[in-house]
């Protein structure tokens, strides 16, 4: 299993981070988790195989996580020759189909019938979906918006947990228990803390409670980048920590912390 953090920013425009997008490659699965503004062009910049994506999983419907979904689905049809014929599955919490219908009405009336098989799978919190032989995706409720979920991807004896946007919740840590890699948001410094996002210390505490083998931080707003994120995390968590940037990548099959 390989993780590439494609977009590690949030809603604030940044010179070096686009909005949320994280690519997980496992066996024949190419899973993009969230597809915020800038993610599609960033994949091209990074020379990632955007055309080979098999699944897109949305954690919630905030703009910084979904704005480029239409861009990607259009690119599959019009951004390459020949156009895509392989199926693509969009996974998301209940309400995803209605959300895609709204996107179709606003942006591209062929969005749900784009000329290649497009499947929409709504995955309720606690449900599990087999993406391919030996690769599973599980959703878990996280405290952010009403529909927000996090995802766990399991393949080849590795488990990667992505919180999406979340507030501090020890139930999330219990769900993430013993994961090989915990990919959490790290939105705000303590002076700006709110219940629907994490500070660096809260991200570190979740990693410690989960017993995560590695912590990778994403979803940075500029103010938190002006603080000592690494020191704040280290107070809570003693394992390996990465402050991910756009294009950071790790093969979990060859590196176990
Ligand atoms: Zn966000």
Taking the chain (257 residues) in runs of 10, the rounded mean pLDDT of each run is 98 97 98 98 98 98 98 98 98 98 98 98 97 98 97 97 98 96 97 96 98 98 97 98 98 78
Rounded to an integer, what distance in angstroms lies between the CA atom of residue 73 and that of residue 110?
A: 10
Q: In the chain, which ranges are E strands?
A: 2-7, 21-26, 29-33, 55-57, 88-92, 118-122, 128-132, 135-141, 149-155, 158-162, 181-185, 215-218, 241-243, 248-251
Handedness of CA 96, 198, 182, 177 (dihedral sign): negative
Residue 17 CA to ligand 1 centre (angstroms): 13
Residue 20 CA to ligand 1 centre (angstroms): 7
Residue 106 CA to ligand 1 centre (angstroms): 22
Residue 219 CA to ligand 1 centre (angstroms): 7
Residue 10 CA to ligand 1 centre (angstroms): 5
Q: Residue 255 has what pLDDT?
A: 76
Residue 70 CA to ligand 1 centre (angstroms): 18
Q: Residue 256 has what pLDDT?
A: 56
Residue 119 CA to ligand 1 centre (angstroms): 24
Residue 84 CA to ligand 1 centre (angstroms): 29
Q: Which residue has the tokens 């080979």?
A: 52
Residue 38 CA to ligand 1 centre (angstroms): 13
Residue 180 CA to ligand 1 centre (angstroms): 23
Residue 115 CA to ligand 1 centre (angstroms): 30
Residue 85 CA to ligand 1 centre (angstroms): 31
Rounded to an integer, what distance in angstroms lies between the CA atom of residue 139 and that of residue 123?
A: 7
Residue 8 CA to ligand 1 centre (angstroms): 10
> What residues form DSSP beta bridges with 134?
none
Handedness of CA 212, 213, 216, 217 (dihedral sign): positive
Residue 9 CA to ligand 1 centre (angstroms): 8
Residue 241 CA to ligand 1 centre (angstroms): 21
The model carries a pTM of 0.97
Handedness of CA 22, 24, 30, 34 (dihedral sign): negative
Q: Residue 72: helix, strand or coil by DSSP?
A: helix
């Amino acid at each position: 299993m390989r993780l590439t953090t494609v977009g590690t920013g949030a809603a604030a425009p940044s010179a070096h981070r686009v909005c949320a997008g994280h690519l997980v490659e496992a066996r024949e699965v190419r899973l993009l988790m969230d597809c915020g503004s800038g993610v599609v062009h960033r994949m091209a910049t990074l020379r990632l195989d955007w055309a080979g994506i098999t699944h897109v999983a949305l954690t919630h419907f905030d703009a910084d996580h979904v704005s480029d979904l239409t861009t990607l689905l259009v690119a599959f049809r019009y951004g390459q020759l020949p156009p895509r014929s392989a199926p693509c599955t969009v996974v998301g919490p209940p309400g995803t189909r209605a959300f895609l219908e709204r996107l179709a009405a606003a942006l591209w009336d062929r969005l749900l019938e784009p000329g290649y098989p497009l499947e929409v799978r709504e995955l309720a919190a606690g449900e599990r979906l087999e993406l391919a032989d030996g690769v599973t995706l599980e959703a878990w409720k996280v405290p952010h918006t009403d529909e927000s979920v996090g995802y766990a991807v399991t393949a080849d004896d590795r488990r990667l947990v992505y919180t999406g946007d979340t507030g501090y919740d020890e139930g999330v840590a219990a769900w993430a228990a013993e994961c090989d890699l915990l990919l959490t948001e790290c939105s705000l410094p303590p002076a700006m803390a709110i219940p629907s996002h994490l500070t660096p210390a809260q991200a570190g505490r979740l990693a410690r409670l989960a017993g995560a083998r590695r912590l990778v931080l994403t979803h940075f707003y500029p103010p938190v980048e002006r603080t000592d994120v690494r020191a704040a995390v280290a107070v809570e968590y003693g394992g390996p920590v990465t402050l991910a940037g756009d294009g950071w990548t790790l093969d979990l099959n060859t590196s176990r912390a």
